[in-house]
Structure 1
Amino acid sequence: MSHKSFVITVMSIVLACVLSSASFIYFIDPMWTFGHANAYNDVQTVVDERQQKTNTIHFQPFEYDTLLIGSSRSTYINQHDFSGMNVYNFSASNLSVREYNPFIEYAKKRRGKEFDRVILGIDFFKTSRDQSTTTLSLDRYITKSNERFYRYKNLLSWDLLEYSYQNYKMSRDNTVLEERNYNRENAASARKISPEKVKQQTEGKIEKFREMFYGKTYAYNPQYKNILMQLKKNNPNTEFIIFTTPISTPLFKELVAQNRLPAYERWLTDVTDVFGGVHNFMYPNTVTNDINNYFDGHHFYPETGTLIAHRLSGETGDVPKDFGMYVTKEQLPAHLQMIRKKAAELVKSNEGK
């Protein structure tokens, strides 16, 4: 073989490999830039949730009338479970209350106008100074989506080739292997674990919250209410639907044990002052009392997310009566009294052990 022939052969092999790899990444679409669906990409791993969801909004038609925003807890609510609303779930892991505004503003820009509704999932542990002080934005994710040839440069990524193969295997086997996987309709699922593993992970989360979120370093952010007021001011024609994310009762018991009930009450007071009412799910009830509705006492399974969506949109036939209460500013004192009673019962039950 001549030198020229050898070079052509090698280059042809390299080109064939590159084209095959790029075609496979395109086929699986792990960064959600192309939007097509098939039997081998219907289970998707989380690469970078903020980037993936920003990519979807940037590259795909965006005609939703309702936006759902929250932390990783809210990612487990299926946007298709809301009755009478066309919802896009823009929730992401570890989302701070400071991120609500840039998320809403970007989605509004892509839609071309305000949303009819914005559904906010709010978390008590995100009221602390260290969890809600830093100002965050979507700028670097938006910039990346707007890079020239961004979608096509992704097709040459070795990392994305590995993610694509992982997605392919899960889709082929129709198996969810991670704490959070998505389908092509932006609905999250979670790997089911044994009751023994649930108990172990719940105990681990309680210890983490005791040390990191509810403990001595906790301080309520006095600007929390102002942040919410600014959201309302920035969206004067939008209906806000606010709900608290339900943690398991053992984790709520730790909140009480760490003397955070006054801050919890201040939180609900601030929220009802701003929005007039809140759908509260975060107190001991039928759902939160069963730790097997969670995989770690902190994140609920998508089935519980469905109950939340049904409660918020008025389809309550399958929702336990004590799961989720809409509380107005006027009703809040009585509601808090009910929760204090439940908290006292939790303390009493703990003393009896």
Structure 2
Amino acid sequence: MADDIIHAPQKALRPAFDAAPAYGAVQEIAPGILWTRIPLPYRLDHVNIYLIKDGDSWAVIDTGIRTDQALATWEQLFAGPLSGKAISRVVVTHHHPDHIGLAGWLCDRFDAPLLTSYSTYMGSKVISQGFDEGATRNHFDFYTRHGMTDEIAGIVAIQGNEYLRRVSPLPSTFLRLVMADVLEIGGRSFRVLVGDGHAPEQVLLYSDEEKLLFAADQVIEKISPNISVYANEPNGDPLGHFLRSLRFLRQEIPDDVLVLPGHRLPFYGLHGRCTELEAHHEERCDRIRDACATAPRTVADLVPILFPRPLDPHQMTFAFTETLAHVNRLVRRGELRTLRQDGRLVNLPAGHLD
């Protein structure tokens, strides 16, 4: 999900709306395109849902999380602005619970097909199998190797089991969306784009004719999407993937599009926002590099440098894995190296002698 800890600069953008729709209400983005919001039980308290007129029905982009409050909000929509209308298809941008959580419920309720990327569908299926003892132990070791205390690691290592409670079972089939596909919805044509870094193979939809970009969590106003390294890919470089995706958007999509993000307000100023996000992460890389120049640091040592305020276990999971994403980026660039000291992994400048 989007990171509710990082607040990145936003000088370059211009919000397209003064306020967001209330829960259970909709706001028209363009003729035949609606915006609504579903509540989340987190500090970032909502996810944006978009509906596109599809004949006599609506195609929905993302679904919200599986909670009683989210379900009640959908029921309010079906009794109000969507009364008498069916959902023709469910498009899911990525596998995080706030986006895919109610996809299975909607598909089942309306006998609607699920459209998403291969990584999203299969990733959700794998996570939904739950953590066994071996996987939980692997997560615990992952955190402690990077300097987290046993006590905190014992708490955050079981966070993955929350996924099962927040995501309804997916349909047994889906329609795969692939980069450069053209998706036709209600007489509109959308080019399928794929972003990475926040989630593998995250689906974005772009209408060149109407200058609309459904950007999911790739580009958001005010906040930076969470960029995390996970235990099953400890040496991964999601930050590198994210920065490359931002450069792709600047090259491929005009600056004057209306960006429809997965959270917060729609806005104009895509190119400037991409540039700001790049600068934001480079500044955080600078902080880590400077800290490691004074002494070898574990990832746990570096977390307070990027996230100085107190963090609950939910926030610590995102902060820790995002800090590691910046460390791995610096290792990939040859600016840091990682060594094992006293059973912990520490990071120091690449030219530093042992």
**TM-score class, shorter:** under 0.3
* Structure number, greater radius of gyration: 1
- The alignment's TM-score, normalised by the length of structure 2, stands at 0.28
Larger relative helix fraction: 1
